Amino acid sequence: MTADEKYLGWRTAVDQQLSEIYCITIEDAGFDEEYINRHWKSSETPAELVEWFGNKYDLDRRPSPSRTACR
């Protein structure tokens, strides 16, 4: 796997976690490629970046789906 493929996989994971946790995308968050790339180069995990971002801007997490009993 090339460095570009690793970066794109990492970037996709950040986007997925932002969507799953906060219902936003990388673009909604205002991240440009330079900003994302800097975090990737610092060996930060997607979860660490998303958690930091959510805490910094005091974002509300997406409500957990309610569990309904099977009938």
Token pair 């090339």 is found at 2
Residue by residue, pLDDT tens for the chain (71 residues) are: 898 999 999 999 999 999 999 999 999 999 999 999 999 999 999 999 999 999 999 999 998 765 444 44
Q: What is the per-residue pLDDT for 66?
A: 55
Q: What is the pTM of this model?
A: 0.85
Assess contact for 25 and 65: CB atoms under 8 A. no
What was the pLDDT predicted at 63?
A: 87
Q: Give the distance, in angstroms, between the CA of residue 16 and the centroid of all CA atoms in the same chain.
A: 6
